[in-house]
Amino acid sequence: MNVRRTHDHASPVSPQTKTESLEVLSFLEDLSDELEDALDIIAPNAHLRMALHLLLGHFEAKTVTPTSLIDASRVPYATANRRMKEMIEAGLIEQRPRTKSGKSFSMHPSDRLLDQWMQLSGRVRRMTEARFGGRKRAQDTKDYYFGGSYAAAQSIPPLRVRSQPLKVPGGIRVLVHGDPTFMVMENLKCQFEQVIGTQISQRAFSIDRLREEALRNAERSASRYDIIAVDLPWIGEFAEKNVLMPLDQVMDLARLDPADFHTAGWKAAHWGGRAYGVPAQTTPELLFYRRDLFAEAGLEPPGTTDALLEAARVLHDPRQGRYGIAWNAARGTALGHTVLMTMADFGQPVLDLAEIAGGFDTDDLAQGDYRPTIDTEAGLRAAEFLLEMLNYSPPGILSMSWYERVRPYAAGNIAMAYGYTLLAPYFELDENSPARGQTGYLPHPHGPGANPIAPVGGYVMGIPANLAPERVPAAVEALTVFTSPEAQKLYVQNGSRTNPRYSVGADPEVRQTSQIFEAIDAMSWHDELQFWPRPPVPEIVPIIRICGEEFHDMLRGIKSPREALRNAQTQADALIDKNGT
């Protein structure tokens, strides 16, 4: 993908270690070389040689042509050509046209060959370990590209190459957020271009600029992008302003397997009962905490806001360069998100949503008839909690936002941090981080009478409403590939710590990469993943900004908690009245 970065944060990159599958391929090639060199009577196995070459090309995203396949066979041209035709007839090789004339083909392993290879790869590994005492697979092994051992039960297979390339002028154009998960796609440029058969161009923006660009794009006569990433709280606004098209208008949603998505993430992609995007990231905000520091201090993991403040107090030691907790406290958007989530920790949504089992009802928001609920007793308790937390925070906390709150945690200077799971690579993939292997993951500690929740964040990928009709079918196909279980697993193997699908979280190889996926699945099953803390109404972005400005003045000591709450309520009421909700 030709990525144009317009954000300030470099994303962590997973180590490009050799996968088990690539190791087995290399082993079989080397073994064939040794046998053929040592014993003159042994002739090259053309079928095996071509299968290995084909699989290697697929895993490393290199184009394989009939000529290169024949060359790899190590047998005379006529013999190799016959063997290649036998493999095609046996359903082991798929041919994809490379030109409009259809006379030139690229060669790809079929689903059948990939399935057989997955089984063989695992058997070869187990046989060598059993016979020769080979190394056991380490718990923290990181897979790369399409390989890895896919022999484990319920393991998601590698991405399959489309039999027909997408035909769209200029390739697929994507607008995304510049976070670690979407930046993984940059590292997988060749793989995804090979899968869909066309070029991919990607632009990455910071969160506020992403929204601005998406809104500007909607005003153009024709969209510059085939697919855009949308923050979950924007869904209502983007649906009402015709930024996104409802997906049921252009595709059969059953193709996406909606039941496989985390319930909160899938519901958050809807407005007025229609899906406007497909979850690409479901990344709840959790409490990261240092298990080793808690153990040394004799502290239990905090389940309540009082326990969190006590732990922060005990672990706060500025003289030793260590602080209790970091959080989103920068003025505006960053702190505004914290305010809404903290009110939710005390059982109060920012709107007067109807209470239902497990949370609050958001199904009828498209009908309007909602009011802000900021200046409440729960709002006051949330404000007082933030003021108290300020006492155990690092210097400069009032300018810390998404990345800045996690970086000092990764460096070992912070004992706890609120953070989205997508930020976990900053310490999970850093071998020098004191937090690596020592981090526990919890839902937000809750206030009195409230329940623990993990506020769901993340992005869906949708299709612009003004996309030229002739480009829509290709956009649908690319969207389906980018959000598939196979693609989501690939993102994880390359460093992502977000996942919208149950099947991916249950994959044995995914679980080996991080404890975070097991923790998120447990929260999902306990109904702790919730998106109501940031209800996706059209006015949510300015409401977040209002709260982020008023509460920032409160944290700076310019306003009292009650004054900040009253001002935020008044401005939010005026905003809703102006919109006629």
Give residue-wise pLDDT tens across range 471-482.
999 999 999 999
pLDDT band with cut points at 50, 70 and 90 for residue 11: very low
pLDDT, greater one: 455 or 52 = 455
DSSP conformational letter for 40: T
Residues 177 and 234: their CA atoms lie apart, in Å, by 13
The lowest-confidence range among 29-43, 45-59, 208-222 is: 29-43
Banded pLDDT at 99 (limits 50, 70, 90): low
The predicted-structure confidence for 281-315, as pLDDT tens digits, reads as follows 889 999 999 999 999 999 999 999 999 999 999 99
Distance CA 94, CA 255 (A): 23
Q: What is the pLDDT of residue 144?
A: 32
Q: Which domains does the chain have, with CATH numbers?
A: 20-132 (1.10.10.10), 172-282+457-525 (3.40.190.10), 283-456+532-579 (3.40.190.10)
Task: Report, as an integer, the average pLDDT of 191-220.
Answer: 93
DSSP 453: B
Q: Check whether 533 has a pLDDT greater than 80.
A: yes
Query: What are 105's strand-pairing partners?
Result: 97
Among 167, 246, 173, 176, which residue's Cα sits nearest to residue 206?
A: 176
Q: Centre a 10 Å sphere on the Cβ of residue 401 and count the other Cβ atoms it contains.
A: 18
Distances (CA, A) of 345 to 84, 334, 338, 341, 449: 63, 17, 10, 6, 10
How many residues in total does the chain contain? 581
Q: Round the average pLDDT of the chain to a whole number and report it.
A: 87
Token pair recorded at residue 387: 């003021």
Which pTM value belongs to this model? 0.75
- Look at residue 20 in the predicted model and tell me its pLDDT: 59
Q: Is 60 exceeded by the pLDDT of residue 143?
A: no
Query: Across residues 313-328, what is the average pLDDT?
Result: 96
Nearest to 175 by CA among 209, 202, 142: 202
Report residue 133's pLDDT band, with 50, 70 and 90 as the boundaries. low
pLDDT at 51: 86
Is the distance from CB of 416 to CB of 394 less than 8 angstroms? no
**Close Cβ partners of 286 (under 8 Å, ≥ 6 residues apart):** 418, 419, 420, 421, 441, 442, 443, 444, 454, 519
Strand partners, 261: 501
pLDDT given at position 2: 45
Give the Cα separation of 545 and 97 in Å (integer): 51
Question: And the tokens for 370?
Answer: 């909602």
pLDDT in tens, 226-281: 999 999 999 999 999 999 999 999 999 999 999 899 888 999 999 999 999 999 98
Q: Which amino acid is at 392?
A: Y
Give me the phi and psi of 92, to 5 degrees please: -95, -20
